[in-house]
Structure 1
Amino acid sequence: MDAKSQQTTMIKSLSLRDNFIWTFIGNVVYSGCQWCMLIIVAKVGNPYMVGEFSLGLAITAPVIMLTNLQLRGVQATDAKREYQFCDYLALRLTTTMLAFIIIIFIIAMSKYKLSTAMVVAAVGLAKCFESISDVFYGLLQQHERMDRIAISMMIKGPLSLVSLGVAVYLTGSVFWGALALGAAWAIVLLSYDIHNGAMVLGEKEKCGMWLQSLIKIRPRWDIKTLYRLAWLALPLGVVMMLISLNANIPRYFIQHYKGEYWLGIYSAMAYLMVAGRTVIGALGQSASPRLAKYYASQDSVSYNKLFYKLLGIGAIIGVIGILVAVLGGEMLLSLIYTPEYAQETNVFVLLMVAAALSYMASFAGYGMTAARYFRSQLPLFVIVTIITTIAAALLIPKLGLIGAALAVILSNFAQLIGSMYIVGLAVRSLKK
């Protein structure tokens, strides 16, 4: 595939409103199905099984985030088209293979029981398929066609839920559930995501069937270009790894001091934060290309207007989550999971406070990335990670799950303050 065909798009961009609607619907369906997977494990199994599955996610997520290099965000905000999709694809394939090798190494070096180690490996394999789909999402996001991403997510979500649910129910094993999950993600990648990539690159007439699309979409292995792109994106990869670590550090301490049972209780409650993140992710992903265009054109007024509108929405969603937890947290936890989880309602309320801070910090993150302030984020998240680690080490051994929730609050508050400072620097640079 030559450069000219890579720069041609056969489909028109959607409006910001349409992109948000599609992204919101896609995220609601996908996040809802992921949540239901956790509920199925909790209902069919027990908190220990939830803990095993959550540990698999906690171990693999930082590795995947690091090796992903946040290429989707880099690609979506590449308003000047400095790199072609074949470059992004080649780098993602390389780093995904590296990610799986690292995950296997971590498992080999760990002292987990065999069943837990197998779950971590299966989750890691599934995450690799998801990672490859993500680079195709970046291409579609760059061209502001969030509808096609949403459709992919709406296919992937129910298929994942059914695959994992049936496997866990029939085998009573999270390991087989995770393998079924990976198979579902691989099917969607091969049958839908790659075909969409071919269409947006102007290969629609040549790629009528999915197999033809698979042949046409080729990575370009130009070492110098891949090195430049990797070096550009590396700070964001490290930042995303640190963000993932910030979310998972409390889980590591809980597993170490309290065991998989209490990790399962905590993870199930923490996952309720996803309800708000569905809206945050939809808005942030839809608005990122627009924010990037405003910043690239040095339109600070439009950039600020959209950015602070997003920040306000994040605050409103967070307050709603806190009210729901205070007024109906116990009933909600009993209804969704089991009475075992409802005994920790105080932890749930604190997690919703942490979620409110997280929503605003996430929008600030989109603002930094849209302004192409990549390297400035690295020292910020190093500091945030240190704060999280110290808080978790001091609070969790003494206060248990409440200590974990307090550590997350401190972490998210530090992230919000630091992110707002960097966005302020970015905007002020436009006015000079």
Structure 2
Amino acid sequence: MKNKILHVFSTLLFSFNQWIQVILITRLIGLYEMGLFSYFLAIVAPLVLFSRFSFSDLVPTQRKYSYGYTIFARFRGILNYIFLLSMAGFALVMDFRPYEMACLMLFSLFKFYETKEEFIYTENIAEGNIRFLAHSKIIKSVVTVLFFTLSVVVTHSLMAAIISLLAAQVLVYYLYDRRFASYDHHMAKLFGRMHFRHIFWLGIGLSVVGLLSSLNANVPRYFIEHYHSVEDLGIYATIMYFAAIASNIVITVNQSYIAELALAAREGFRKFYGEFFKMMGIYLVAIVIGNAVLILYGNDILVFVYGEAFRGHQTDMVLLGVFISLIVLEKSFEMALNVFNLYNIQVMLQAVNLIFTVALSALLIVPYGIRGSFVVAVITAAAIVLSQISTLLLTRKY
């Protein structure tokens, strides 16, 4: 339990570190750069999640193959290089200036190393070594905030900020994280097309779920950038970052418990749901408190942290609270579906929701901008949660 609490604390620290990045970019560099930074993330995120094949959920819960971690690591490495090459091609065809293109490639390289680190996290999640995850995140948070703050304060440059993220990631990966990897070079030489094919078909459903889920979250950003402005995207992304913090915390807690919940599920539905609903009870208390804070002080928080440019977004903060509540439920029910290896049905749910998101974005974001984006986020998140609950109830029945 102490290790799990330490893991949650490390995630809070890491999320706070990312929040500091948003604040510094918004206040010291500008809203345009914040919008650009968010746009880079919206471009990169779907491909990152696809290339990761959701191994943090798949490896601890799959029971079909007895491959060691090295085989999974080799598969991840191949997809990670494909991701980097894809981003290079994407940067060339996008209508970016040379400076923006360079920033995108540096950001992609940062995500490349973050994905390498994420597989080491996966190994340790599967082995229940939560202490390592906590220590790694704490070290990375401290190093990153120092590098990032120094670069932004001295240069006021988005490129320097991204370089600082890359430098901190590479430093922690090589000097600390790799010590906790179990990569076997002899076993790696045995990796072949059979292994690639087995893992591909085992995880493609969950990988596509990650891709579609990311597109669902980022489609409103594409619409804001295209039909309104990069500055509006900066405002939306800055406010929406509170949801990213909540999502990080929920995913971290779920990672801490997924191996135990998988074992409980093998004993039966009753055992699993007993443990699952204990966790959900804690989430519901946090949801009530969080929404109360946003309803009472949402606008004041925005103005105090980000400045006068954010005044007048109280309604958006209330919608944000509803969206965060739904995200907490969505990530929890998604974990439950993964525990029962219900990957393929999630592909269908996310695919239908993506079509729904695009249609709603055209109807609401084009005329209403930022406010429409929050309404779209709430409606689509609610649709996913209802479909997840229906799937779990039907599974339990049969």
Q: TM-score band (shorter)? A: over 0.9
2:294 and 2:318 in contact (8 A); partners too:
yes
Partner SS for 1:376: helix
| Cα gap change, 1:311 to 1:389, in 2 (>3 Å) | farther
Distance in 1, matches of 2:357 and 2:279, equals: 26
CA RMSD in angstroms comes to: 1.9
> Displacement, 1:81?
6.3
Which residue identity is paired with 1:226? F
Measured after TM superposition, the shift of residue 371 of structure 1 is 1.0
Structure 1 residue 278, shift from structure 2 partner: 4.1
Shift of 1:95: 0.5
Residue deviations 1:66-106, cap 9 Å, x none?
11111121112246762210111101110000111111222
1:192 aligns with 2:179: no
- Partners of 1:254 and 1:263 within 8 A in 2: yes
Match of 2:45 among 31, 53, 61: 61
Residue 137 of structure 2 aligns with an amino acid whose one-letter code is M
Residues 79 and 292 of structure 1 are in contact (CA less than 8 Å); yes or no, is this contact kept in structure 2? no
Partner Cα separation in structure 2 for residue 102 and residue 414 of structure 1: 32
Could you list the runs of 5+ residues in structure 2 that have no partner in the other structure? Answer: none
Pick aligned residue for 1:144 from 112, 122, 128 = 128
Aligned letter for 1:149?
A: L
1:175 aligns with: 159
TM-score of the superposed pair, with normalisation by structure 1: 0.88
2:228 is the alignment partner of 1:258: yes
Distance in 1 between the 2:40 and 2:141 partners?
19
Contact kept, 8 Å, 1:23 with 1:146, in 2: the verdict is yes
Write the distance in 1 (CA, Å) between the matches of 2:329 and 2:206. Answer: 19
Cα distance between partner residues in 1 of 2:314 and 2:245: 17
Distance 1:226 1:47, change over 3 A: same
The 5 Å alignment of 1:14-53 reads 17-53=1-37
For the residues of structure 2 that align with 1:60 and 1:271, how far apart are their CA atoms?
A: 17
| Whole-Å separation in 2 of the counterparts to 1:57 and 1:219 | 34
Is the 1:246–1:384 Cα contact (8 Å) retained in structure 2? yes
Counterparts of 2:3 and 2:189 in 1: how far apart (Å)?
27
- Which amino acid in structure 1 is aligned with residue 355 of structure 2? I
Q: Which amino acid aligns with 2:356?
A: I
Deviation of the 1:137 alpha carbon: 0.5
Give, in angstroms, the shift of residue 219 of structure 1. Answer: 6.9
Of the three residues 269, 273, 281, the one matched with 1:312 is 281
Q: How many residues in Structure 1 have an aligned counterpart in Structure 2?
A: 398
Q: State the Cα distance separating 1:319 from its structure 2 match.
A: 2.8
Q: Specify the alignment match of 1:291 in structure 2.
A: 261
Deviation at 1:124, TM superposition (A): 1.0
Partner of 2:193: 223
Code of the residue aligned with 1:262 in structure 2: it is: D
1 CA distance for matches of 2:355 and 2:189? 38
TM superposition shift of 1:288: 0.8
**Aligned pair in 2 of structure 1 residues 65, 411: CA closer, same or farther (>3 Å)?**
same
* Structure 1: segments with no counterpart, 5+ residues: 1-16, 202-213
Residue 350 of structure 1 corresponds to 319
Mapped to 2, the partners of 1:408 and 1:395 lie a distance apart of: 11
CA distance in 1, matches of 2:254, 2:30: 35
CA offset at residue 160 of structure 1?
1.6
More helix by share: 2
Q: Deviations over 1:164-209 (max 9, x none)?
A: 22222322221221122112111111111111124xx8xxxxxxxx
Partners of 1:172 and 1:253 lie apart in 2 by 28
Q: Which residue of 2 aligns with 1:8?
A: none
- Which of 234, 239, 242 is residue 209 of structure 2 equivalent to? 239
Counting only pairs closer than 5 Å after superposition, residues 268-283 of structure 1 correspond to structure 2 as 268-283=238-253
Is 1:383 the equivalent of 2:352? yes
Q: Give the 3-state SS of the residue equivalent to 1:165 in structure 2.
A: helix
Higher mean alpha-carbon deviation, 178-187 vs 215-224, is at 215-224
Q: Where does residue 387 of structure 2 map in the other structure? A: 418
For 1:71-90, list aligned pairs within 5 A: 71-78=55-62, 82-90=66-74
Query: CA 1:383 to 1:313, structure 2 compared with 1: closer, same or farther past 3 Å?
Result: farther
Q: Partners in 1 of 2:114 and 2:251 — Cα distance?
A: 17
Instruction: State whether residues 315 and 360 of structure 1, in contact with CA within 8 Å, keep that contact through their aligned partners in structure 2.
Output: no
Is this contact kept in 2: 1:86–1:219, CA < 8 A? Answer: no
Question: Quick check: 2:56–2:255 contact (8 Å CA) kept in 1?
Answer: no
Q: Which residue of 2 aligns with 1:103?
A: 87
In the TM superposition, residue 218 of structure 1 has moved relative to its aligned partner by 5.1
* Equivalent residue, structure 2, for 1:326: 295
Could you report, residue by residue, the CA deviation over 1:209-264 in whole angstroms, capped at 9, with x for unpaired residues?
xxxxx978957522201210111111111100111111111111111111111111
Report if aligned partners of 2:32, 2:231 keep a CA contact under 8 Å in 1: yes
